């Protein structure tokens, strides 16, 4: 039995080492199982805080002429006009402001208001470009008022063609 004693001692050492490794692995996995979800939770909370901070920062910024142009591009003409009117109250002597607001009114189909602001832009800064814009809007208004009701969208032509087609049908009968 003396011959087996060193072997048994060595086996006990190996077994103790294996038990220690199993315990270390077990506790490492438990810690990892707690640590990863906690870190994901912290990440979600931090992202929420960061997003809210960005929203607060952007919402607290005052609108400017870039916002007017962006809203016109996105088709939100009423918002563009509202922002433009607010801004024009702050800088009524700025010709480019009147030109931008006139563009928003024109995009919304409000040609008379567009003309007012184009005229004001020309009055404040009588440049060739402002003069051309004013002349163009005057021509457009004149063309719109000289057309009979419904002719702007071609409905008069359709009615005439329809009436001609119905009279031709009636003559065949």
pLDDT band of 62, cuts 50, 70, 90: confident
Rounded Cα–Cα distance for residues 97 and 79 (Å): 16
Over residues 130-157, the pLDDT tens digits come to: 999 999 999 999 998 887 655 545 444 4
Residue 106: CB atoms within 10 Å: 21
- Angle of helix 128-146 relative to helix 111-124, nearest 10 degrees, comes to 160
| pTM for the predicted model, two decimal places | 0.53
Q: What percent of the chain has pLDDT over 70?
A: 82
DSSP the chain: -TTTHHHHHHHHHHHHHHHHHHHHHHHHHHHHHHHHHHHHHHHHHHHHHHHHHHHHHHHHSPP-HHHHHHHHHTT-HHHHHHHHHHHHHH-TT-HHHHHHHHHHHHHTT-HHHHHHHHHHHHHHS--HHHHHHHHHHHHHHHHHHHSPTTGGGTHHHHHHHHHHHHHHHHHH-
The residue count for the chain = 173
> In degrees, to the nearest 5, what angle opens at C-alpha 109 toward C-alphas 61 and 102?
50
> Which of 17-21, 120-124, 167-171 has the weakest average pLDDT?
167-171
74-126 tens-digit pLDDT: 999 999 999 999 999 998 999 999 999 999 999 999 999 999 999 999 999 99
**What does the pLDDT read at residue 148?**
64
The dihedral through the CA atoms of 25, 30, 33, 34 has a sign that is: negative
The Cα-based distances of 69 to 33, 91, 127, 136 in angstroms read: 52, 17, 22, 20
Percent of the chain with pLDDT over 90: 66
Mean pLDDT estimate for the chain = 84
């Amino acid at each position: 039995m003396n011959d087996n004693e060193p072997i048994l001692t060595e086996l006990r050492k190996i077994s103790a080492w294996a038990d220690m490794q199993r315990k270390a692995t077990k506790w490492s996995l438990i810690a990892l199982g707690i640590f990863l979800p906690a870190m994901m939770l912290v990440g979600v909370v931090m992202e929420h805080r960061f997003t809210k901070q960005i929203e607060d920062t952007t919402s607290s910024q005052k609108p400017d002429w870039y916002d007017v142009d962006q809203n016109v591009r996105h088709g939100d003409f009423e918002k563009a006009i509202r922002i433009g009117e607010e801004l024009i109250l702050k800088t009524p002597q700025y010709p480019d402001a009147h030109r931008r607001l006139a563009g928003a009114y024109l995009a919304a189909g409000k040609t008379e208001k567009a003309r007012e602001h184009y005229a004001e832009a020309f009055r404040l800064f009588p440049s060739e470009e402002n003069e051309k814009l004013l002349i163009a809007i005057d021509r457009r208004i004149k063309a719109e008022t000289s057309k009979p009701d419904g002719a702007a969208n071609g409905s008069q032509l359709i009615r005439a063609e329809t009436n001609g087609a119905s009279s031709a049908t009636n003559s065949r009968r």
